[in-house]
Structure 1
């Protein structure tokens, strides 16, 4: 009982203390005086708590407050029309309301909806701002829908609000009357939650009683802290570029005497750029990727220039892949050609290019493909380019299992010969272990290491690796001469015309070469310029070291 008494005293006190601030608005308290108000809380009847609370609070309110009292169910049992305005809303009604409440003898029905309607009409709710505060301990018992009533009053009222204070209602019961408050913009406050009820009611009544706030002064026009705010689009009429990840660059120049581009002034970035320029004429360029647009812009004091640039460009995304479904090759070369220029990328491409005819020359190693198309302004062209390449892995060995570590020269040719017997060179490199990306097809690899030469045919298939082992069947010859003598290696036998094949040459005192296994002749020249020969045999996979000594009696020809 003490809790509910405290809640009512606090609620009505807030109402009384706040009411003096009211001006044109008036309020009516609608008090439930039905038979259920004899129910007790902590040993005291609810009607007694209501009398004590109102008596205590009304003694403290200002005589200027325009407050009225209406009750229902206090005269007859079973009569839904038992609704009476006990005190008309007016200033200085505190004592009259206390006296009226003291004489109430609860006994009847709960026509709370009709009571709220009559209170609203008395307050001229369709013409003036007004509030009804309903204090009830029960639900509607006269077949009127309080929710519908709340909606109706809200639609017709100028600024009408109902706040409902419930005594001892369960949560489900509270929901059935809460709509009357909620549908008019008011609040339902339950006496079951003491502390939060006082706080909520304080806020609600304070809002009702406070005078209307003075209108806020007209805001002063905002002064921009910039005078230049450009925008750009890829196509005429297309959406503005608003992505700050976009590579959008703004550059401005002074206008030269001839009207062209003059002295450079500044640069900034991103689609959201806003800046401040000295008043005057400028030539502004907007650049994104490889697309550029330019125009003359006049900056005026106290104004913001907002020029728009149309780049007439397309977004180009290229994903070079060696085969369908394979990962993008980060080493691929992508040459992009448009009517007035071109550029080259490596790996994946994501850029902006001028709209129009575009040619892509894409290569992975020696495998190449060409793709041509037309890109429209504002379009995003996203292409997977499948080059259709395979891998050829070359391993050079002196003999099987003995790798070549020297810079052996390898060159790959197309297997097919032209009419003159030549082949088209595809790619070359140095080293005993080399890997080449090649288009599918038949090839010949030639090798050249000192005096050792030869060729091996092979084939490549798309998305496959071909291992090619080059066995030189060769050894190493190391020649030492007395000085920087001339040294040349010939075949040991002569052809039908009496000539011997030359394999390699150089100068002493140290000369080294690689030769296929077999017999050879070393031709050298002594200090007097006389040639002399020394036979030598090369064994595959072995090193042969030999020191040349000129014969005591010259046997060769003087050179």
Structure 2
């Protein structure tokens, strides 16, 4: 069964323009200056050679044959033809007005039959060309038939909105063939902007039917147009196929168009509980003996039954009314903005959940009621309510007021950095440092969806850090490449005037002191090799065993490797006892006090070595049978030996 989904989007006070389906020159009525005008835009991009089931025919063949047949019927409408991508590969300027609206009908039919797709899809450029060709002629309509949204970096939605504003009365109909989830809203928006119809087609049967309906709508006479909207015509139930006694179709409500989405069908004996048969499709046909039957149609969470009586030799066609509504809800970044594919949509009624879906679109058939639709994307959240009555076919866009932030990072040589951590912060007066992190990513090319506002973005790679403030507007995409130009730095320490040794256990700390003040690195060892972003830093070195430390500030310039030597002001003293002070057995205990008499260092052993800050000290040793002490002074960078005897 074919799948044909129709979104009816009719703007108030916009006259429905009439699309031409006109006859050949021999039968065509004379055209007047105020005759309806229509411009056909037929996709000539290479993908139109793709085949459609169940006919297994190329899309372009179905389009050419159906339009060609319809355009031979008599009509007073002025018709023009535009195509794109049909002459050159890879050329987004390949847009041609094959026939203007005042051209003879054969000037439309002959080129249409020879159209050979091959290039890209500049849909937007073709749309603007069609609007220019229509000019001030009213009523007027543009019909687009294609299998892809614009792939030439143009905004078709914005172009359609501009046409609706500058050329009121021009209606755009869009027939989309096999569109992806991302392409569908980018095609539907053109119809929405002007009160036209969007046809979502999946197979050759659906394409054939959509083209026929679009053209038939276009040849409505002015008397069939009232208040800017086409008069609603009650659908007719299609007859049963040969050999069948029943064909059942479905509609949202009595008098509404037939549903083309696949339904689940079941046939019961009247009042019975066991199905005699079932199927899935837009309708169901069956050969049934005379009797009473219940025909059940189910779509989404909606179910309805219709009771019929079939007499001998009788064939019946019925339309089952679901007494339901159709809702197509989308999460969009901003009003009239692009969809938000990373959003989550939820639908509820009377506080009870109805649907939850990840993605920018949820397509539901629902019981008449009031519904709440909520879209969530990252930190952004927005909700709307909508009342649905039986027969309603509505679309609802929930605007999140979000923007997109795309980040990448490069090194000093301009090459992309793969190992990087991105952070995104926002102002927060309640946080200790006045900012709050809202997102982070380790992806080399990170993408964030954020509520509109001002943010502080950072990129950290190794010990390189860079940051920047950015503003993001609703519906806006901000792309930033953060340059992390790292400077090699070798950090060493001097202890008592000589380079630190491995057993000195120097503790290093590096802090950024300009821009965002953050701690960059901490490490223990005789030396430290880092790569840092250009800027100002404070580098500290501590000798924990001696409670000594020193620091210095350095400025690193891009492209200039640097060295930083931290001189821990100190001297080395080697304490040695005289021969008379050496005990017969056991060790000596050493203690050093500062000039205030406070002990600051102790050690045990026949000899001992201390690293001390410059100043005056007293050393004392204790052994089993002897004691001794001596006063001494330490100078920075000095190494001395101090012999101490008993006494």
Shorter-normalised TM range: 0.3 to 0.5
**Structure with max Cα Rg:** 1
TM-score, L = length of structure 1: 0.40
TM-score, L = length of structure 2: 0.36
